[in-house]
Structure 1
Amino acid sequence: MEALTGLLPIVLFIVLFWFILIRPQQKRQKQVREMQNNLQKGDEIVTIGGMHGRIHALDEGTIVVEVNDGNKLTYDRSSVREVKNNQ
């Protein structure tokens, strides 16, 4: 019984660590993964580098982003930080 009482603070610390740090991070990663998988042609996006543009074409792992002056740049899907609007 004393061994169980000695392990209780360690177990509580691990559970608290899980709910405060690990679980929210996993939820955020899942949301980002879903957002990147649901990208569509015409979506206005912001990349992790801060570039704003519109998706011109999609591939399995890459996207072609068109910026205001008509230039087209190719990025990995994972470089998309947020979608400004969904059409």
Structure 2
Amino acid sequence: MSLLTLLPFIVLIGAMFLMTRSAKKKQQQAIEMRNQMQPGSGVRTIGGMYATVKEVNEDTVLLDAGPGVELLFAKNSIGAVLTDDEYNRIVHGIEHDLKADADVVPDDASSLTETDDSSDAAAASDDTPVDLGKKDAADADTADGAKADAQPKKSDGDSDAK
């Protein structure tokens, strides 16, 4: 047999080795994560339920899902062990102020375009109506003071002068 015929088999065996190696690595990380669970930790089960660990045994975990609600789960059913900040944000809606020193982004762009000197002028100009150049025919005055309907009207193309 030549090396050319063995090459596809060698590539296939190498790909299988790499896939099983990455799967074993992920499985080992999950086992380490589940072994680091302690009473009081916030967890998410693989079914999507959030609870607090009350007791950890060899193969099972007792979870406190609410006042008076204790559930017994297999350790393998724990999908993630959450940090205290993440658990409080998801379950209780408590936002931890991670960026207290960061700049606050305004809701609108007006503060980005104004300067301190023009802020009073901009506030005053917001109260006045904007003239778009269109006026009602009854209110429109011409330059010499006559009403707009006093202007000569256009004909539809028939003229008496030839």
Is the TM value for this pair above 0.5?
A: yes
Show structure 1 runs of 4+ deviating over 6 A: none
Other-structure match for 1:83: 81
Q: How many residues align?
A: 84
Paired residue for 2:59, among 53, 58, 61? 61
Other-structure match for 2:94: none
Structure 1 CA distance for aligned equivalents of residues 34 and 23 of structure 2: 17
Partner SS for 1:67: strand
Other-structure match for 2:28: 30
Gaps of 5+ in 2: 85-162
Structure 2 CA distance for aligned equivalents of residues 9 and 75 of structure 1: 45
Question: Which is greater in Rg?
Answer: 2
Q: What is the root-mean-square deviation in Å for CA atoms of aligned residues? A: 1.6
Structure 2 CA distance for aligned equivalents of residues 79 and 17 of structure 1: 27
Structure 1 CA distance for aligned equivalents of residues 37 and 52 of structure 2: 11
Q: Percent identity?
A: 30
Which one has the bigger strand percentage? 1
Gaps of 5+ in 1: none
TM-score for the superposition, normalised by structure 2: 0.48
